[in-house]
Amino acid sequence: MAREERAMRTDVETRAGPDDHQSLRLWLRLLACTNLIETQVRQGLKAGYSTTLPRFDLMAQLDRAEEGLKMGELSRRMMVTGGNVTGITDMLEKEQLVVREPDSADRRAYRVRLTREGRRQFRRMAAEHERWVIELMDGLSRRQRDQLVELLGVLKTQLAHRTASPDPSNGKGANQ
Partner DNA sequence: TATTGTTATACTCTATAACTATA
Partner DNA sequence: TATAGTTATAGAGTATAACAATA
Q: What residues make contact with DNA under the rule CB under 7 A?
A: 1-9, 52-55, 70-73, 80-91, 100, 103, 106-110, 172-175
Question: Could you give the string, one character per residue 3-22, with x where binding to its own copies holds by CB under 8 A and - elsewhere?
Answer: xxxxxxxxxxxxx-x--xxx
The interface with its own copies within residues 92-151 (CB under 8 A) comprises: 130, 133-140, 142, 144-149, 151
Residues pairing with 101 in the sheet: 111
Q: In terms of CB distance, is 62 or 88 closer to DNA?
A: 88
Q: How many CB atoms lie under 10 A from the CB of residue 35?
A: 16
Q: In terms of CB distance, is 44 or 54 closer to DNA?
A: 54
Question: CA-CA distances (angstroms) from residue 31 to 10, 24, 56, 84, 143?
Answer: 9, 10, 21, 25, 22
Q: In terms of CB distance, is 144 or 175 closer to DNA?
A: 175
The three-class DSSP label of residue 155 is helix
Distance CA 21, CA 10 (A): 21
Interaction partner, residue 48 (DNA, its own copies, none; CB < 5-8 Å by kind):
none
How do 98-102 and 110-114 pair as beta strands? Answer: antiparallel
Q: In terms of CB distance, is 80 or 91 closer to its own copies?
A: 80
The answer to whether 155 contacts its own copies (rule: CB under 8 A) is: yes
Please report how close the Cβ of residue 124 comes to DNA at its closest, in angstroms: 18
Which one of 47, 157, 169, 171 is in contact with its own copies (CB under 8 A)? 157
**Considering CB under 8 A, how many residues would be counted as binding its own copies?**
79
Residues 6 or more apart whose Cβ sits within 8 Å of residue 31: 12, 13
Question: Comparing C-alpha atoms, which of 23, 9, 10 is closest to residue 159?
Answer: 23
